[in-house]
Amino acid sequence: MKVAVFSTKAYDRQFLEAANRNQHDLVFFEPRLNRDTAILAAAFPAACVFVHDQADAVTLEILASRGTHLLALRCAGFNNVDLKAAAELGITVVRVPAYSPYAVAEHTVGLILSLNRKIHRAYNRIKEGNFSLDGLLGFDLHKRTVGIIGTGKIGQILAQIMKGFGCNLLAYDVYQNPELEALGAKYVELEELFANSDIISLHCPLMPETHHLINDKAVEQMKSGVMLINTSRGALIDATAVTKGLKSGKIGSLGIDVYEQEADLFFEDLSSAIIQDDVFERLIMFPNVLVTGHQAFFTENAVSKIAETTIANIADIEQNRPCANEIRAEPIAH
Ligand code: NAD
């Protein structure tokens, strides 16, 4: 099948070409998919996109009117796709539901350890010949309480790792995962998780029910000095509420791999530009905030699995085979 691959970086091309083994005719485009760039996919039966591409109703209409009937996501989350519009336009949507939950869970642990032991600050200090320990005091993770919101694939692996550190586990999810209970995690209401966790980590999808899950009220309910981590989706957090929490000291540290307005920033080299997002610029000025640019998924294992699954998904649809990774407008059954 002829596939228009949007948002192509060198690594996408490398891994997709390796997985493709000349099965499909892949044409790589650097721009993101949106209503202005959709025309690039004219006469391509398939378009392949990532997290910052915008597959809204207007964009999908342009794709459909030019002959595209398959949208292959190179990611798990599909909050950037209007699934209802896709269904109405006859566009099949497929995704990569799991590539390496270890990649994201391990990156989450990296943020926790760095923030706690101030490794990001120590790295800079040592380069400047400053060997003072002032300001680098951390705490033992052993016996601390970690609250995990969203206990699916990534949340479960994080729970296993943190159990290994000797942490107590609290959990919140709309479905209870028996694997978590087997680890000794206690499912509680959100309010109780906020009130009793030393570290809170978000691993639920972004949907209307979870938008700004972390807002002023939630921050108020948290323990003073809490560490908050988000490697899921930026809009789970109201960045203004969290900034207030950081300024008052209620939030002791923040680690984020995702940010609500990240589409304007992440995956690009903006080192010579003037960043216009004042909320983001304020956040990165805090010494107790660590931001990574949506890289939690970025391991060889995960990128290779994303490419393999994407190529297989496209082949399934091309050959009219049922594709287990197809997503539809109705909620996915658990
Ligand atoms: P998953 O589907 O296995 O788990 C998500 C869990 O969230 C499920 O157990 C689900 O029941 C739960 N959930 C749904 N609604 C909820 C709600 N209202 N409150 C609490 N929990 C709720 O997904 P996963 O593979 O563990 O991925 C989790 C999230 O991580 C994804 O949604 C995605 O946004 C994000 N992610 C980020 C990166 C990255 O590079 N930073 C990479 C992959 C995934």
* Together in a domain, 260 and 314: no
Ligand 1 neighbour 153 (Cβ under 6 A):
yes
Do the Cβ atoms of 2 and 25 come closer than 8 Å? yes
Whether residue 208 is contained in a domain is answered as yes
* Together in a domain, 184 and 320: no
Q: Whose CA is nearest to atom 42 of ligand 1?
A: 297
* Together in a domain, 129 and 66: no
- pLDDT score of 329: 82
pLDDT tens figures, 280-298: 999 999 999 999 999 999 9
* Together in a domain, 268 and 161: yes
Alpha-carbon gap, residue 66 to 241, rounded angstroms: 43
Whether residue 305 is contained in a domain is answered as yes
- Provide the domain limits for residue 173: 101-291
* Together in a domain, 160 and 269: yes
* Together in a domain, 130 and 70: no
Do the Cβ atoms of 231 and 254 come closer than 8 Å? no
* Together in a domain, 191 and 274: yes
Whether residue 332 is contained in a domain is answered as no
Q: How far apart are the first and last CA of the chain?
A: 31
Whether residue 334 is contained in a domain is answered as no
Whether residue 111 is contained in a domain is answered as yes
pLDDT tens figures, 247-268: 999 999 999 999 999 999 999 9
* Together in a domain, 239 and 315: no
Domain CATH for 305:
3.40.50.720
Ligand 1 neighbour 173 (Cβ under 6 A):
yes
* Together in a domain, 116 and 22: no
* Together in a domain, 203 and 313: no
* Number of folded domains that form the chain: 2
Whether residue 253 is contained in a domain is answered as yes
Total-model pTM: 0.93
Give the nearest ligand 1 atom to 209 CA: 18
* Together in a domain, 68 and 142: no
Where the chain has pLDDT below 70, the residues are 330-334
Ligand 1 neighbour 149 (Cβ under 6 A):
yes
- Compute, in angstroms, the gap from residue 274 CA to the centroid of ligand 1: 33
Whether residue 224 is contained in a domain is answered as yes
Is 233 among the catalytic positions? yes
Ranges of H-type helices in 165-299: 178-182, 190-196, 216-221, 239-248, 278-285
- DSSP category for residue 333: P
- pLDDT score of 332: 42
What are the start-end ranges of the E strands in 6-157? 25-28, 46-49, 70-73, 92-94, 145-149
Query: Could you tell me which of 137, 114, 138 has the C-alpha nearest to residue 254?
Result: 114
Q: Whose CA is nearest to atom 43 of ligand 1?
A: 297
- pLDDT score of 281: 98
Ligand 1 neighbour 204 (Cβ under 6 A):
yes
* Together in a domain, 259 and 117: yes
